Chains A and B, each alone.
Chain A
């Protein structure tokens, strides 16, 4: 009889441990953890909704600025998305309303990001040495003295 009680005690402790583990797990493991693998599946929809998209894409600007887009489409910058030079649409329009003026950077530095001659660019890509490109250096409007940013070919 004494032996049976010992066995019973051990079993009781074991049962208690199992219950504690199960209850503990239910509190500690997030509910969608392990559904598809060793991660919390709920994070996937969270990541989808992490933030609203800030960049609108190449065509989103034409909804309001079709005249500019038409000029751009005919010029040699046709494949350059508006947001490359102007920055993301989300800073200008939110939920269909204009919230701020679009940044316009007219500095030669902006043009130089692509067109200043440096090692590394493909040789066929149009690039200039600023100091040699214009006699006497760039004028007050920089590159825009001669070039239209939206259709830069002279």
Chain B
């Protein structure tokens, strides 16, 4: 899985002290030290972001809030995500769904993920309510996708982000099937699993995810649960939020406001 086609550039090596190939002696010495609980010493060099500033992943726990009552279905988030992350055509790390509902019938669509906006739609029934729902990876605490990965390529970071190690992933697709939210896909370019990273390359530099950055109505909000005065933390703490498919006990960290039972 080391070679990747051009379309999606492989992750560049991180700016951390270069270490040569590990000898057996080194490996054993490290294993011994590690078992002694001296992880911190070893990890020291790893948590440095590319700009040289230290990012402490223990100081944050990210959460996402989606206020669906504000969503106008413009698709700016989908376009921004595509551009920011180089997501292949026809695949989506985030998308927007449109719900048209009446007591008798319902219709859900997401033409091209909502990327080009939504065309007017004629349904056979008269919808009594309609709304948009942005979707993305829920970055669950109890992730089915991580559990099923046979090679340890999927994992959840200490700051609460579910990521895929493209160099480890063998593209078996178990995680794609395990995710109840349809948030993952096998990239036609890298042939490995890909998903929303909450723009890990941005949030570790103090920026917001691209989709949150461009949302014109503040439908999408991103915050830090470890900051007492964080607006998202406060909204989750005080508002009546729900998560998608709570019955599955996956403990999603993307919270929704104003959602309907029709939404899975």
Contacts and interface: CB of A to CB of B under 8 A. Distances in A.
A, B from the same assembly: yes
Interface of A: 22-23, 25-26, 30-55, 57-58, 79-81, 83-84, 87-88, 91, 109, 112-114, 116-122, 125
B14 A49 contact: yes
Nearest to A39: B155
Interface in B43-83: 43, 46-50, 55, 57, 69-76, 79-80, 83
Given A31-B19, A51-B201, A40 B167 contact: yes
B13 A46 contact: yes
A118 B119 contact: yes
A131 B217 CA distance: 25
Interface residues of B, number: 78
B16 A45 contact: yes
Contacts of A32: 46
Contacts of A120: 73, 98-100, 118, 130-132
Interface string B84-128: 111000000000001110000000000000001111110000010
B1 interface: no
Interface string B201-227: 110110110100110111000000000
A33 to B, nearest CB: 7
Given A41-B46, A46-B11, A54-B210, 12 more contacts: A22-B24, A31-B30, A42-B46, A46-B14, A47-B201, A49-B50, A51-B9, A57-B213, A83-B80, A120-B100, A122-B72, A122-B131
A130 to B, nearest CB: 10
Shortest Cβ-Cβ A-B pairs, 3 listed: A45-B14, A39-B155, A49-B50
